[in-house]
Chain A
Amino acid sequence: MNCEESLALMHLYLDGDASEEEAQQLREHLKICPDCNQHYRELKQTESLLSGAAYELSAPAGFTASVMANLPKEKKRAGYMRWFRAHPVITAAAVFFLFMFTSVLSAWNSDSSVSVSKQEGLIVENDLVIVPEGVTVKGDLVVENGDLDIRGQVDGDVTIINGDLIEDPGTKVNMASVDNISGEYQEINRIFGWAWYHLKELVTF
């Protein structure tokens, strides 16, 4: 074995890659070659110094807490997404609700003209809906974005959204009006109630 081969073998030996036969050959060469012997001892010392320095360093105090505090917030969104994927039915319901609520909201904002569920026999003046005297509305009546003055009869439930049942101070028409409703009377002016009303309507389809 020459010195070059011996050098290569030293590294194999230190890596634990040398066969028993190769190790023996190396030992033989080191006995007769002072240069290689010196070289090998230096390598061996380097190895032991390095493994001595390989004791594990410690992360600074509070390291884990600092990592946890700095985890990205967007990960939480990913967490929700995972949850959604795991619960498709609830997700569908939630999306549906959200969708409905936003479209209902935009309807609340945009559609401010008066609308009424039945037109037959009714008088609509600007934002006032009148059930004239002698007229009987068969079934439920819904008035949206307008006031309602019932002089005749409503044979069903009355719902007023974003409006009032007209009160005539002189004749307590309001009371009279309510008396003229055979079913339930409901006034919805708060936006959530309004949205809820629409939703209920949609769900009971």
Chain B
Amino acid sequence: MENIIKYHIKNVKKGDHAAFEEIVSFYQNKVYHIVYRMVGDSHEAQDIAQEAFIRAYTNIHSFDENRKFSTWLYRIATNLSIDRLRKKKPDFHLDAEVKGTEGLDMYSQLAADQALPEEEVESMELQSYIHKEILSLPPKYRSVIVLRFLDDLSLAEIGEILDLPLGTVKTRIHRGRELLRKKLRHV
């Protein structure tokens, strides 16, 4: 897959608009996933994810083709998410709570609309609960936890995405895991 992506990137660099569409279409869910887990609000997530792709497009010439494109793209996405979180820092904690609840509502709403079997409703409620708990983590733990469970990223790749030494990535995962353990142990 990485090879197909590289082929598309070469074409984008040559000015082929359509090749970028292929890239967006391939990575949209992953980028949206990262951003949504980071900021918690679906509208904001859409906005930031879109901005991430636009940045990638405008800066495509600075992308080194010997490296993994996903690493570069996810880095743009996480940086934009963290910037956004930083900008609204004053009411940050309260905000995270509210966003989390909003996520819960969204899931419950979805479940109600589709008249899903009880098991699935429960599973969705659980998902939304986990989502909310991930959002309650301080951003520096949140980012490693979100990336770790996306797309089988290695810890080294996470380090590259977040521009952190491997040791720091591990420490943050351990810390994040402990924080979540306290919140999720009664599930």
Contact = CB atoms under 8 A, between A and B. Distances in A.
Given A57-B33, A63-B28, A45 B187 contact: yes
A47 B127 CA distance: 13
The main secondary structure of chain A at its interface with chain B is: helix
A63 B48 CA distance: 12
Interface in B144-187: 145, 148-151, 155, 170, 173-174, 177-178, 180-181, 184-185, 187
A56 B149 contact: no
Interface in A63-111: 63-64, 66-68, 70-72, 75, 79, 82-83
A43 B182 CA distance: 9
A198 to B, nearest CB: 34
Nearest to B179: A46
B54 interface: yes
Q: Which of A52, A71, A83 gathers the greatest number of chain B CB atoms within 10 Å?
A: A71
Contact of A83 (B15, B50, B54, B170): B15
A51 B180 CA distance: 13
Interface string B3-31: 00000000000110100110011001111
Contact of A50 (B24, B149, B155, B174): B149
Interface residues of A, number: 33
Given A43-B181, A46-B181, A67-B53, A53 B127 contact: yes
Interface of A: 11, 14-15, 17, 39, 42-43, 45-47, 49-54, 56-60, 63-64, 66-68, 70-72, 75, 79, 82-83
Interface of B: 14-15, 17, 20-21, 24-25, 28-33, 36-37, 42, 46, 49-50, 53-54, 57-58, 126-127, 130-131, 134, 145, 148-151, 155, 170, 173-174, 177-178, 180-181, 184-185, 187
